Amino acid sequence: MSKPRTLFEKIWDQHVVVDEPGNPAVLYIDLHLVHEVTSPQAFQGLRDKGLTVRRPDKTLATMDHSIPTTPLDVPIADAIAAAQIRKMEQNCREFGIRLFGMDSPNRGIVHVIGPEHGLTQPGMTIVCGDSHTSTHGAFGALAFGIGTSEVEHVLASQTLLQRKPKTFEIRVNGRLRPGVSSKDIILAVIAKNGVGGGTGYVFEYTGEAIRSLSMEERMTICNMSIEGGARAGMIAPDETTFAYIKGKPHAPQGQAWEEAVALWRTLPTDEGAVYDRVMELDANELTPMITYGTNPGMGMAINAEIPDPMRVTVSERPTLEKALTYMGLEGGKPLLGHKVDVVFLGSCTNSRISDLRLAAGLIEGKRVADGVRMMVVPGSQQVKKQAEQEGLDRIFRDAGADWREAGCSMCIAMNGDQLSPGEYAISTSNRNFEGRQGKGGRTFLASPLTAAASALTGRVTDVRTIME
């Protein structure tokens, strides 16, 4: 019998085209997703070298980062962003790439639309010039972010030069308690393991707590693998995965469906396979999480005290002090009850229909606190349509929140949606870096439930205290 392999190793082995000793492997890419911000220089590279896109049939483009989320009939105010969007349209025409463009009902955040259309399937290799490509790993695919040079490599050859990463099992035992969600799992993992702890590894999330999550909850976890330093995060496909994919526009059908599922069932990690590293977490013990600092590893239980710089190691002190100064916070104090100016519900981490439903469920019939600006930005135009059919837009609007068109919005703040200097935001996005949500803006990362609860009170709030 052959050596037991992990989910990652099976997909890796199947996609290696060439593996010369001393050189990185040539890895075949099944799906290349492209967006407007990290691709123009790659297309220019092709043009300069007289090359074409080798497999336009395995390439899909959309626009999400620099597009505004204002109504579609309003022209794009930012001339430079408008030029970048026109460039994407022009590149797609010139190189024959399918584009979910500005007016497309299929447009959305690149990591929301892949799964939504059934383009993301188990066993695939998927890349995109965006670090949150790890999201697609929730389906048992090997998916990771790449730089613009690598975008050019994939466009030109449909392959990528890669060193084989090591494997890291993150086992989450037990079950989540009410008010605690998958966002809290991943924030806890990163708080425990650090923002660089996964460097050189691929995460595989296993255990009872992971198995009991829906696909959208799994995507939230895999999405933030990169915030723990791992380029990819994966979850073995199971019945939940198959049920989610079935019937999606690009899902296999009939006999092809049966064959695909049979193949997907062979992907999970074999009994006896060995990971290079392992960490364990107990979901029963998790509380809602929140970040207090300027990287996603600076997170804690929502009812904990902010770490005191005088009580950490000397090497950690300068970075923590710098973070707390930027955040305007004091070590040793609680964050609960801290004022909130803005609530952002959106991003490739938490902008899917189930995220919106959770938040709407808490907000229904209530009002966003005075002085708080709440923005709700669906992850795709399809999510937006679905939410409107369910009346979620009315719930948010009636509560005083702003209901927007789809896009990355305030997660990256390069599209007009941003914080003002000094403002505090509770955000369901993935990065709390200095200035990430607008120059001088200060971000607390949290789950949609925590964000919605805090919107109602105008303060950092433990959702468990207001749940019925």
Partner 1 sequence: MEPFTTLTSRVVAIETTDIDTDQIIPARFLKTTTKIGLGKNLFADWRYEEDGTPKSDFVLNQPEVQGVQILIAGDNFGCGSSREHAPWALMDYGFQAIVSTSFADIFRNNSLKNGLLPVIVDEDTHQQIMSLAEEDPNLELSIDLASQTLTLPDGRQIEFPIDTFSKTCMLEGLDQLGYLQKQMDQILKFEESYGDRVNTLSPSSGDERRETRD
Sequence-ordered alpha helix ranges (H) in 79-214: 79-95, 110-116, 148-157, 182-193, 208-211
* Alpha carbon distances (Å) from 333 to 145, 288, 295, 425: 37, 18, 19, 18
3-state helix, strand, coil in the chain (%, to 5): 35, 20, 45
List, in order, residues 6 or more apart from 201 with CB less than 8 Å away: 165, 166, 167, 168, 229, 230, 276, 277
In the 8-state DSSP scheme, what is residue 305? B
- For partner 1, the binding residue among 70, 157, 173, 287 (CB under 8 A) is 157
- For partner 1, the binding residue among 72, 93, 94, 149 (CB under 8 A) is 149
Element (H, E) at 363: helix 353-363
Q: Which of residues 5-44 bind partner 1 (CB under 8 A)?
A: 17-18, 22-24, 26, 28, 30-31, 37-38, 40-41, 44
Q: Are strands 25-28 and 159-162 parallel, antiparallel or unpaired?
A: antiparallel
Q: Which of residues 205-264 bind partner 1 (CB under 8 A)?
A: 226-227, 229, 231, 248-253, 256
Site track 316-345 with partner 1 (rule: CB under 8 A), x = hit? x-xx--x-----------------------
Residue (9 or 462) nearer to partner 1, CB: 9
- Characterise 251 by phi-psi region: left (phi > 0), alpha (psi -120 to 50), beta (else): beta
Q: Which of residues 119-138 bind partner 1 (CB under 8 A)?
A: 119-121, 123-124, 129-131
Nearest distance from C-beta of residue 435 to partner 1, angstroms: 5
Nearest distance from C-beta of residue 333 to partner 1, angstroms: 23
**Contact status: 106 vs partner 1 (CB under 8 A):** yes
Residue (311 or 317) nearer to partner 1, CB: 317
Q: How far is CA 344 from the centre of its chain?
A: 15
Residue (200 or 331) nearer to partner 1, CB: 200
**Contact status: 458 vs partner 1 (CB under 8 A):** no
Q: Which of residues 385-414 bind partner 1 (CB under 8 A)?
A: 412-414
What is the three-class DSSP state of 74? coil
Residue (288 or 296) nearer to partner 1, CB: 296
Residue (44 or 212) nearer to partner 1, CB: 44
Q: How far apart are the first and last CA of the chain?
A: 54
Q: What are phi and psi of 166, to 5 degrees?
A: -90, 170
Binding span for partner 1 by CB under 8 A among 152-160, 212-220, 274-282, 458-466: 152-160
Distance CA 279, CA 230 (A): 14
# residues near partner 1 by CB under 8 A:
92
| Residue (of 280, 282, 279) closest to 177 by Cα position | 282
Nearest distance from C-beta of residue 63 to partner 1, angstroms: 12
Amino acid present at 35: H
Q: Which of residues 35-94 bind partner 1 (CB under 8 A)?
A: 37-38, 40-41, 44, 49, 57-60, 65-66, 78, 80-81, 83-84, 87
Written as six digits, the tokens of 98 are 């399918």
Q: Which of residues 162-181 bind partner 1 (CB under 8 A)?
A: 163, 165
Q: Which of residues 419-438 bind partner 1 (CB under 8 A)?
A: 421, 431, 433-436
Amino acid present at 355: D
**Contact status: 362 vs partner 1 (CB under 8 A):** no
